[in-house]
Amino acid sequence: MKLPWQKTSSTDADGSTRSNPTGAGSADGHGTSPSSSDSGSGHSALPKGYTPPKGRPTPKRREVEREKGIIRESPDTPQTLRQMRERKKALKASMSKEEYKAYKKRERDERAARRREVQKHIDAGDDRYLQDRDKGDERRFARDWVDSHRFLNSMFMPVALVLLVVMFTSQYYPALANVLSLLAMGVILMFFIEGFIIGRRVNRATRERFPGSTAPGASLGFYAYTRSTQPRKLRSPKPRVNVGDEI
């Protein structure tokens, strides 16, 4: 790349080389402007997809939300971990031992109350509190469809516990362990076949209920299968329908 104060060389018809200042031919229209040459060489030197630096670090999400007013905090709210530690240390020093214990207990109770409130909304199926995998009409319909049927896969966890016991006792009763292992393999195969059937059926029912659905079939089928392997009382969100209800 030539700098503005450097000279360019041109070749005459007789083969001799003549040096001209950069931009000398621009007056008669036959020269090349330095800006075009610089820009062309500059772009060729940069890699494809090059993005110039912003000159500042990317702000954290909490800082942006605080600037926009989404998060409203008092001026004395600590912003960093160091400030939080210093504030906690000063608070502990300003209280007696009994007062600090009561303060910590009140904090734990408040956190537990918040967790119970959030879990209550999750169990009710409120999309504002659900994870992305549980959101949407298709996923809600798949949960209701699974909850309205009985499946062998609901015994998956108890069978897994029995298999764990068999593994520990096999060294003492080898003959019995071999028989139980064959039975366990057969039950696992039945779980796999039923899981495949569950995925097919829930996809077909979902497509009938939502003709314009774009939910991936494999993802929806696996979602229904994993819910069917959970005991009914441990499912979250909680079942909204009873076994045998029409969806």
If you average pLDDT over every residue of the chain, what do you get? 78
CA angle 70, 75, 80 (to 5 degrees): 80
Structure pTM?
Answer: 0.58
Buried b (16+ CB within 10 A) or exposed e, 48-72: eeeeeeeeeeeeeeeeeebeeeeee
Distance between CA 50 and CA 114 in Å, rounded? 46
- Per-residue pLDDT, averaged over 92-101, amounts to 86
Highest mean pLDDT among 45-54, 59-68, 196-205: 196-205
Q: Are 209 and 144 in contact (CB under 8 A)?
A: no
Beta strand ranges found along the chain (DSSP E) = 7-11, 17-21
* pLDDT score of 145: 94
* pLDDT score of 115: 92
Give the 3-state secondary structure of residue 160. helix
pLDDT tens sequence across 12-34: 444 444 544 444 444 444 444 44
Q: Are 169 and 134 in contact (CB under 8 A)?
A: no
Residue 157 makes CB contacts below 8 A (sequence gap 6+) with: 229, 230, 231
CA angle 165, 151, 133 (to 5 degrees): 95
